[in-house]
Chains A and B, each alone.
Chain A
Amino acid sequence: MIALTRIDDRLIHGQVATQWVREVHADKIYIVDDETANDEFATMICKGLAPLRTEVFVLHEDKAAEALKEVDQKQDVQALILVKGPGALIKMLNGGLELKKVIVGGMGKRADRKAFYRSISVSDEEIDQFQSMIEKGVDLQCQIVPSDNSIPVSKLIKKQ
């Protein structure tokens, strides 16, 4: 089943590898990102960065929904899905994948992004994408590490 879906543009890094994997007892990590999937070297690095006792898979955004629907049915799998931004998730939702909860954990500063919450920055387009995910019934929360309290993204959008 899908144990956690997280937006984090650093993909696998310290917080994910040591804190989130443990929090949800993940044994498989699915990175859904075209840029990584199209780059053999980046894919190899991501697989090599697999935290102990986990396996990493890299999927194309268009093909992810089908593959992850199957993963969600497997009761003996605890999957952690990582994407760099909301765009990949919208494609997966449109592909028919059901995502109950999504955590926004890492979106770094960029020319088109404005500060949103603590270290998280988002662009206007991404705000719209967040909004459409919320409308589709996704529980969208900002939470950087498991020990933080989570804050609903809808509340933060209203404050903007």
Chain B
Amino acid sequence: MKLYCSDLKEDLPVIILMSHGPFAEALLESARLIAGEIENAAYLCLEEGDNPQDFRKEIEKLLNSFAQRKIVMVDLLGGTPCNSFVSVVNSLKSEVLAVSGMNLPMLLEVISSRKSMTDAELSDCAQAAGKESICNINEKFSLYRMKQEDKNDCVNQN
């Protein structure tokens, strides 16, 4: 398990990233390259051989350690970090917003909007940012069109 917590300010919601392996750590590192130093952020990375029971306890301890509003972001719906969060929800001191499928646009949106939005607004906004940036770049820039005969080949092979 790898745990990190940045410097904390009282009046800023805390973002907690959780992932299989180093994704959460790297995502925060990548966001820092774009947005600069990020305060009130933490991550918990599940590593090979970690006991899910220990991971659950760590999440509970971590989330209960912040008096601020909290936003949890997990990598995969139905994965251990996600399921562990769900299983500790009842033992948390306050309600915690949690979203799955975290990616860089989603995190950047949450970093910028967390102070000014309610949990409901932030939830919508995070999901929209995560989805809106996904597109086919070839189509977006009309880089090239697939030739008709190539399309036929694909169909024939199937």
Which of A13-21, A54-62, A72-80 makes up part of the contact surface? A13-21
Assess whether A145 is interfacial by the CB under 8 Å rule. yes
In the bound complex, CA of A15 to CA of B33 (Å): 8
> Which of A18, A19, A144, A145: most chain B Cβ within 10 A?
A18
Interface residues of A in 141-158 (CB under 8 A from B): 144-148
Do residues A18 and B34 form an inter-chain contact, with CB atoms below 8 A? yes
B34, B35, B112, B140: the one within 8 Å of A48 (CB)? B140
Q: Which residues of A contact B (CB under 8 A)?
A: 14-15, 18-19, 22, 44-45, 48, 52, 144-148
Q: Total A-B residue pairs with C-beta atoms closer than 8 Å?
A: 29
* Residues of the B chain whose Cβ atoms lie less than 8 Å from the Cβ of A52: 132
B interface majority secondary structure: helix
* Residues of the B chain whose Cβ atoms lie less than 8 Å from the Cβ of A44: 141
Q: Which residues of B contact A (CB under 8 A)?
A: 33-37, 105, 108, 112, 132, 140-141
In the bound complex, CA of A14 to CA of B32 (Å): 11
Pairs of residues from A and B, 8 with the lowest C-beta to C-beta distance, nearest first: A147-B36, A145-B36, A14-B34, A18-B108, A48-B141, A15-B34, A148-B36, A22-B112
In the bound complex, CA of A79 to CA of B35 (Å): 21
Question: What are 28 A-B pairs with beta-carbon distances under 8 A?
Answer: A14-B33, A14-B34, A15-B34, A15-B35, A18-B35, A18-B105, A18-B108, A18-B112, A19-B34, A19-B35, A19-B36, A19-B108, A19-B112, A22-B112, A44-B141, A45-B141, A48-B140, A48-B141, A52-B132, A144-B36, A145-B34, A145-B35, A145-B36, A146-B36, A147-B35, A147-B36, A147-B37, A148-B36
In the complex formed, the residue of A with least CB distance to B132 is A52
| Closest CB in chain B relative to A73 CB, distance in Å | 29
Known: A15-B34, A19-B34, A147-B37. 9 other contacts (CB 8 A): A14-B34, A18-B34, A19-B35, A52-B132, A144-B36, A145-B34, A145-B35, A147-B36, A148-B36
In the complex formed, the residue of B with least CB distance to A47 is B141
* Residues of the B chain whose Cβ atoms lie less than 8 Å from the Cβ of A19: 34-36, 108, 112
| Closest CB in chain A relative to B135 CB, distance in Å | 10
In the bound complex, CA of A102 to CA of B140 (Å): 32
In the bound complex, CA of A105 to CA of B29 (Å): 20
